[in-house]
Amino acid sequence: MIRLILGGARSGKSYYAEQLAKNSTKKVIYIATGRAGDEEMQQRICLHQQRRPSEWLTLEEPIKLASVLKTYAQKQNCLLVDCLTLWLNNSLFTQAGELQEMIFKQQKKELLTCLTDLKAEVIFVSNEVGCGIVPMNEMSRRFVDEAGRLHQQLAQRCDQVVLVTAGLAQVLK
């Protein structure tokens, strides 16, 4: 089963996904896509680390997500990817904030293509960023647009899609 868990910032989506992984009875492999570029992000990462059971294997991969998924996609595993919007940012932009179109297109293609061959249970967590105002600058608009496109393409391929709002899960598919 492949699931997509969507929600806004601090909506409870990661906690919900972690509970699904705990209840899976499979070996959980947590795939972290975030980079600790500043102190505030480091604090967010620490909160997630403290919440995870110690027996979970944690892998950090900011860009080559499809490669990690393929490597660990055995039937006995539950792969929890947190989060796709950080992966999207890492794939779409360099750390200096410059667009890296070719890398993004290749990584996205590899991700979408690999989904059909995965034997593991997979849980993707992603921020729903398209429900607010249209951003004022081009780079932010591009990010919101790409996140929306990615969510649509993943939702078509996923067995289940859940929107988490205020800690409440709403099954969309």
Q: Cα 52 to chain center, whole Å?
A: 16
Any catalytic annotation for residue 48? yes
Cα 82 to Cα 31, 47, 135, 156: the distances in Å are 6, 13, 24, 19
> Rounded distance, CA 95 to CA 93, Å?
6
The answer to whether the beta carbons of residues 82 and 33 sit under 8 Å apart is yes
- Which of 27, 35, 44, 48 does the annotation list as catalytic? 48
Peptide bond into 131 cis (omega under 30): no
Q: Which residues are catalytic?
A: 48
